[in-house]
């Protein structure tokens, strides 16, 4: 698999209830864009142990020297709204009921774990997750848009690294429809033969539509301040755009 530099992370397929992209469609999506590997993260609650085995086997049979589909699942937990944990390179079924169980079981059942979209749980990770997770998703192209990463998630990553310096930060598509490519990529070097090992050891670069940064989002204070300001402005403009149709509808109703 040497030479497959460009990858995508946090990708759903038709194994998720909210996605219609078959594995074959996803393979075509990758081939059309020169993407060599895709780390899949289907919703765990949509699978059974038998379907999971089929999923893993089909990923292997569809993969070849041009595209590797890496099986994985996204887990959610009762009592932890918004906290979704991704297990990449998952080869064994698991059914954890709590984030702490996920951390314990994922060490045996998968190869790389990510705390997805921290914006959905107000950037508060339970200690058990901080103690065992491999990565924080610092740019979720669905929740943070394709245009800018999430400075508060980057701050969470840097705080988490004070506790465990091996934690890295990944960009994820959170893709549910391959007709809408939000263009975040994870790049490894041409000599790497194992994308998940490169991720685990921080040998990658996150590349998005407007900016790129290394695996720990190294930024000098001026760049981080500029990103924070840009994010603030962008979010306000976006909110104003979202409110406009609602206001227009209200004024129509009054008229
Ligand atoms: Zn999620
Ligand atoms: Zn997802």
Residue pLDDT, tens place only, 196-246: 999 999 999 999 999 999 999 999 999 999 999 999 999 998 888 887 765
Residue 248 pLDDT > 60: no
Q: Please state, rounded to an integer, the average pLDDT across all residues of the chain.
A: 93
Residue pLDDT, tens place only, 65-80: 999 999 999 999 999 9
pLDDT given at position 238: 85
Find the 42 Cα to ligand 2 centroid distance in Å.
7
What pTM value is reported for the model?
A: 0.93
Alpha-carbon 10 to chain mean position: 4
Residue pLDDT, tens place only, 134-183: 999 999 999 998 999 999 999 999 999 999 999 999 999 999 999 999 99
DSSP E strand stretches across the chain = 6-11, 37-40, 42-43, 68-70, 72-75, 85-88, 112-115, 135-140, 168-172, 185-187, 205-207, 212-214
Find the 84 Cα to ligand 1 centroid distance in Å.
5
Find the 174 Cα to ligand 2 centroid distance in Å.
5
Which residue in 161, 152, 103, 175 sits closest to 132, CA to CA?
103
For residue 71, the 8-state DSSP code is: P
Alpha-carbon 199 to chain mean position: 12
Find the 204 Cα to ligand 1 centroid distance in Å.
23
pLDDT band at 1 (very low <50, low <70, confident <90, very high): very low
Per-residue burial over 182-208, b = 16 or more CB atoms within 10 Å of its CB, e = otherwise: bbbbbbbeeebebbbebbbebbbebbb
Residue pLDDT, tens place only, 89-99: 999 999 999 99
How far apart are alpha carbons 31 and 228 in whole angstroms?
35
pLDDT band at 253 (very low <50, low <70, confident <90, very high): very low
Residue pLDDT, tens place only, 4-35: 799 999 999 999 999 999 999 999 999 999 99
pLDDT given at position 20: 96
The position carrying tokens 């200690």 is: 127
């Amino acid at each position: 698999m040497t030479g497959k530099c460009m990858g995508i992370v946090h990708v759903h397929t038709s194994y998720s209830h909210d996605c219609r992209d078959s594995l074959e469609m996803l393979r075509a999506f990758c081939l059309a864009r020169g993407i060599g590997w895709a780390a899949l993260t289907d919703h765990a609650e949509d699978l059974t142990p038998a379907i999971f085995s089929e999923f893993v086997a089909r990923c292997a049979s569809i993969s070849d020297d041009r595209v590797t589909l890496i099986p994985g699942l996204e887990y959610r937990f009762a009592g932890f709204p918004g906290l979704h944990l991704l297990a990449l390179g998952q080869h064994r079924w698991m059914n954890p009921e709590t984030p702490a169980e996920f951390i314990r079981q994922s060490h045996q059942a998968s190869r790389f774990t990510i705390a997805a979209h921290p914006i959905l749980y107000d950037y508060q990770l339970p200690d058990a997750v901080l103690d065992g997770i491999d990565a924080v998703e610092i740019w979720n192209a669905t929740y943070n848009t394709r245009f800018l990463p999430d400075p508060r998630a980057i701050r969470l990553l840097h705080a988490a690294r004070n506790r465990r310096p091996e934690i890295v930060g990944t960009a994820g598509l959170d893709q549910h429809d391959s007709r809408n490519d939000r263009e975040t990529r994870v790049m490894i070097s041409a000599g790497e033969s194992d994308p998940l090992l490169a991720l685990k050891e921080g040998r990658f670069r996150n590349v998005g539509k407007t900016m790129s940064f290394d695996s720990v989002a190294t930024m000098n204070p001026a760049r981080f301040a500029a990103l924070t300001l840009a994010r603030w402005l962008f979010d306000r403009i976006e909110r104003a755009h979202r409110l406009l149709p609602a206001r227009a509808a209200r004024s129509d109703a009054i008229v």
